[in-house]
Amino acid sequence: MSKLLGGIAIAIALVLTVTAAQAGDQLTLVQRTFDALRQSATALEQGDAGKAQALLAGIKSSAEALRGTAERFGKQAAAAAEQREAEARAVTTKITETYQAEQAADKEIRELEAQIATLTVQLEAANTMRNALEAQAAVYRREVAMRNECKNQPLEGIFYSGECWRLSFEDVFANRWIALNNNIKDNNTQRNNIENARHNLNGQLNSQQGKLGETRARKAQLEAQRTRLEQQVKTLRAAVVSLSDASVFWTDTVTLIGSKITSIETLQQSLQILAKRANRTSTAPVFDSYDKEAVRSLEATLIDFARTLDNNTNILLLPKNGGSPSGYCAPPVAAISITDAALAAGRARGTWSRTKSEDWQNWIGAARCVSPAAIYYGKFPNVQECENRCIADPTCTFWSYNAMYQGNTNPVWANSLQECWGGSSALTPNKTQPVWGGFLSGGIR
């Protein structure tokens, strides 16, 4: 009788603690449920079936709640993985388009370089001709000097080996000089035309090379974005597997508790099977990060999952992953690489403008932490660093920066001083004057 009363007391205590844990302390709920399973196994080893059954009965509601949590977040993870896969496919399409643009620009550059090379050869030939014409002109100038000397010294001219006689045919000499001058003029025109054409082609080449650099930077950004999305898909799919395992584990736990097994040996075997499954190790996601995983037991995975739910760092609490918008703010920072190439590619997307400081416009507005299209970049000491994040992020079309607002009149932006948010093309900027000031915004016109 005393064992039965003790079991009832234990069950009542467990129900009370489970009820308190269900109010939001997932970690306590998981730990106490596993502790009760272990205590039940210990009670069976001691031959106290009543205590073991009371312990199991006391955690039935918690096991049911944990099963429901695992199933709900498992469905969220599956839906989020499908969404990320769709986004990755869309980015892949953009990468293909960008690659085609890169190939076209590269082909244009090769053609321009070939044309410039041809003109360079032509210019070298024209310069060679110019040198020959200048050499001929030098000969003619010496002949002019000789003719003048013959005229100035007519009596001595006959002693110049017949040169004065040869140069006495003025018409012939004049025609040669005119023809030479025409050739020189034509050569100058030809060289000028080649130089102008080459200058124009070099201008086109520089422009194409700039576009090629921007296109390659854009492609690199898109490839990095696709890599991030693929990593997120991998993590979310792993979360689906882990949460499916958790759902099955808690389902079997509830089934065991409801089976009302009276045989100590059978109950022991059932608990041992659950214990083995709880201790079985596998690769599982780290639920507060997309790019980490760990080899650990199912129990350790469920404890980590509960911990991240309690401290609001679980990736499945993100609005874009189906989580409650108000339950996860601000989300993890979207890491953007700020390089000259990334900024150049971003500015090439359009004309960027910024609101005047006296206008105080908050284009993100109430979309903060609510819309999946709102991108959180973190906190920065000045507005330029915020604007650069949006420019360098190929998914961002406008941004808002909290320069002064303290959150005293609008709780949506409480504790958000120096926060930087971006908006994708899926989000319409709120360009109406807000009821609070202190924000700067900007984006592509």
Same-domain check for residues 204 and 62: yes
Please name every residue paired with 161 in a beta bridge, in sequence order, or none if there are none: none
Same-domain check for residues 158 and 250: yes
Give the residue from 280, 295, 323 where a domain finishes.
Answer: 280
Is residue 100, in this structure, part of any structural domain at all? yes
**Confidence at residue 426, expressed as pLDDT on a 0 to 100 scale:** 76
Is residue 192, in this structure, part of any structural domain at all? yes
Is residue 406, in this structure, part of any structural domain at all? yes
Is residue 390, in this structure, part of any structural domain at all? yes
Give the residue from 265, 280, 295 where a domain finishes.
Answer: 280
What is the spatial distance between Cα 262 and Cα 347, in angstroms, rounded to a whole number? 73
**Confidence at residue 10, expressed as pLDDT on a 0 to 100 scale:** 39
Same-domain check for residues 265 and 374: no
**Confidence at residue 380, expressed as pLDDT on a 0 to 100 scale:** 93
What is the spatial distance between Cα 416 and Cα 378, in angstroms, rounded to a whole number? 10
**Confidence at residue 436, expressed as pLDDT on a 0 to 100 scale:** 59
Q: What does each C-alpha distance from 290 to 12, 27, 228, 380, 442 come to in angstroms?
A: 40, 21, 9, 24, 30
Q: What is the chain's alpha carbon radius of gyration, rounded to the nearest angstrom?
A: 41
Q: Give, for all 445 residues of the chain, the pLDDT tens digit.
A: 334 334 433 343 343 333 333 334 789 999 999 999 999 999 999 989 889 999 999 999 889 989 998 998 999 999 999 999 999 999 999 999 999 999 999 999 999 999 999 999 999 999 999 999 999 888 888 877 777 777 676 655 444 556 665 665 555 566 788 888 899 999 999 999 999 999 999 999 999 999 999 899 889 989 998 999 999 999 999 999 999 999 999 999 999 998 877 788 888 999 999 999 999 999 999 998 888 889 999 999 999 999 988 887 888 888 778 775 544 567 778 888 899 999 999 999 899 999 887 778 889 887 787 777 788 999 999 999 999 999 999 889 999 999 887 655 555 666 788 899 999 887 888 887 655 578 899 999 8
pTM of the model: 0.60
CB 398 within 8 A of CB 354: no
Q: Would you say the C-alpha torsion 3, 7, 8, 10 has a positive or negative sign?
A: positive
CB 294 within 8 A of CB 284: yes
Q: Number of structural domains, the chain? A: 2
Same-domain check for residues 105 and 183: yes
Same-domain check for residues 265 and 345: no
Same-domain check for residues 222 and 349: no
Same-domain check for residues 232 and 361: no
Same-domain check for residues 115 and 257: yes
**Confidence at residue 247, expressed as pLDDT on a 0 to 100 scale:** 96
pLDDT tens-place string over residues 13-32: 343 333 333 334 789 999 99
What is the spatial distance between Cα 339 and Cα 388, in angstroms, rounded to a whole number? 10
Same-domain check for residues 252 and 152: yes
pLDDT tens-place string over residues 44-100: 999 898 899 999 999 998 899 899 989 989 999 999 999 999 999 999 999 999 999
Which structural domain, as residue segments, surrounds residue 360?
Answer: 340-444
| Two structure tokens written together for 40 | 């039940």
* Secondary structure (3-state) at 87: helix
Same-domain check for residues 406 and 275: no
Is residue 112, in this structure, part of any structural domain at all? yes
